[in-house]
Structure 1
Amino acid sequence: MNDADVKNIINENQEHIERLKKMLLNILSVSNIRFWYWKLDHFRISENIYEDLMEMDALMTSIIVSYGRLFNSSFGSTRMNEGIVPNNLREMHKHILDLRNNKYAHHGGHQSIQPNISIENKGTHLNVALGAEIGTWLGAPQEWKELFEWLDGYMHSEVKKKLAMLTKLTGIEWKIQDHDAPWWIS
């Protein structure tokens, strides 16, 4: 097979190649989720609990928003169908999407955030105290690990299926280079 043959094959299968590119964006999101989860799972509390809480919340926000993005329409990536999530992981999936929709992405009144204002009469003026009770995790929610591991495996399986389909369509084997998993995925 020469370069002209390869160019023709690529041109004839451009639609499938574009789908692979969109899948790649989802794979990158899953990789990010796995890394941020690992960071939370190995998080060690320091002497500054306020900074620790802010850092853990930033990691949690990154995980939840990225996870939710996988199951919503976007310009550059393929929307994943919620029906692919196995039954035993579906409640956890719904829980994460609820957090995304009602706490992290839209401040929609999730029960883990309770803003409050107290007003005290000081005779000549009113003192207003602003506060909030915010529920958060210390570290990584262990029950999420299985969902993220499944998602990672699912994404890699889907890429292999697409390559097998291209192999069948073109009569030429399409392979992906095998790489070791990053050190933070155990």
Structure 2
Amino acid sequence: MEEPEQPRDYFVLPEEAIKFLPEEWQQHFHALIDEGQAVLEIADDNLRNLNRLVHAFPSMASLRYIQHRLASTKFEATMDWVLENDMLTLAFVTTYVRLIDGGIGSGVSRSALPPELRPVHDNIIELRNKRYAHNAGHESIIGSLEIGFESGNFDIGVNFNMGFHVGGANDWKSLLEFLDSLMFNRLHAQLEKLKEKTGREWIFPSGSPPQWVSTDPEHNPSVGDTP
């Protein structure tokens, strides 16, 4: 029976400390440094792409968590519940747009989405632009002012209707599962390119997914799986 492999110990040696080592050790470490730098120079463009992609991971993880919180909510006919649901929806749509637009991270174009998910994407963008980022007359917010006159006084009345998805729209989960899979595939495409260019294996850290990430065995390992 084979014994389980013992975890390896790693030690960090500052480059400034190398000069205090025996001569043969110094030569060995300098050779390793030169070799590593040469490999990194060859893969510089791919590493830049990988760095941009990694910047999108926090937004993807936030989206999965917010959607989980929304889907787990239990409806209550109270103003506190309405405002809580609205707050989570605000967090969802703004984080979604941050992921899609990319910025320093890796954006996702509308054309990268399957046709059946593009209307979901469009609705989120409109919700963010017209309801949350700006008061631009989104159809889910309707307000009117009524003024009555009686006994020489003006009475002001306000009618206000706010529509919302209880726990978020049903299609949001499918959209996030696709984006999660897309990010995972992009990550491993970059790792494969790095392997082809350098002839070395490139291993990305991974771990068990949080409870709020889908545990469907048919679903690809997600960006949320990585620490």
- Tell me the TM-score normalized by structure 2: 0.73
**Structure 2 vs 1, CA of residues 127 and 162 (structure 1 numbering), >3 Å: closer, same or farther?**
same
Equivalent residue number for residue 25 of structure 2:
none
Change (3 A) 1:107 1:15: farther
Counterpart of 1:20 in structure 2 is: 50
* Residue 21 of structure 1, CA deviation: 2.2
Which of 70, 84, 87 is 1:55 aligned to?
A: 84
Q: Encode CA deviations 1:62-118: one digit per residue, 9 max, x unaligned.
A: 1111112223252x2232221110122122122212212222222221110112222
Deviates more, 1:27-36 or 1:9-18: 9-18
Question: What is the RMSD computed on CA atoms of the aligned residues?
Answer: 2.1
Matched AA of 1:31: A
Unmatched tracts of structure 1, length 5 or more: none
In structure 2, C-alpha distance between the alignment counterparts of 1:123 and 1:27, rounded to whole Å: 63
SS at match of 1:116: strand
**3-state SS of the aligned residue for 2:203?**
coil
User: CA–CA distance in 1 between the matches of 2:114 and 2:165?
Assistant: 25
Select the structure of larger CA radius of gyration: 2
Residue 153 (structure 1) aligned with residue 181 (structure 2) = yes
Matching of residue 87 in structure 1 with residue 115 in structure 2: yes
Give distance in 2, aligned partners of 1:85 and 1:13. Answer: 29
Count of equivalent residues: 184
* Amino acid aligned to 1:24: V
Q: Which amino acid aligns with 1:39?
A: R
CA contact (8 A) 1:33 1:66 kept: yes
Matches within 5 A, 1:100-179: 100-179=128-207
Using the size of structure 1 for normalisation, the TM-score is 0.87
- Residues 144 and 160 in structure 2, CA contact (< 8 A), matched pair in contact too: yes
Cα pair 1:27 1:152 within 8 Å, conserved: no
C-alpha separation in 2, matches of 1:56 and 1:8: 52
| 33, 46, 64: which one aligns with 1:3 | 33
Cα drift, residue 123 of structure 1: 4.9
Alpha-carbon distance between aligned partners in 2 of 1:153 and 1:13, rounded to the nearest angstrom: 25
Q: Deviation at 1:12?
A: 4.2
**2:209 equivalent to 1:181:** yes
Please give the secondary structure, in 2, of the residue aligned with 1:182. coil
Percent of paired sites with the same residue: 24
Looking at both structures, which has the greater relative contact order when contacts are Cα pairs under 8 Å and sequence separation is at least 6? 1
Cα distance in 2 for partners of 1:5, 1:55 equals 54
Offset of residue 10 of structure 1:
2.7
Letter in 2 for 1:5: E
Structure-2 separation of matches of 1:134 and 1:52: 13
Q: Distance in 1 between matches of 2:158 and 2:69?
A: 32
Structure 2 contact 63–92 (Cα < 8 Å) conserved: yes
Q: Which moved more, 1:14-23 or 1:80-89?
A: 14-23
**Are the counterparts in 1 of residues 141 and 162 from structure 2 also a CA contact under 8 Å?**
yes
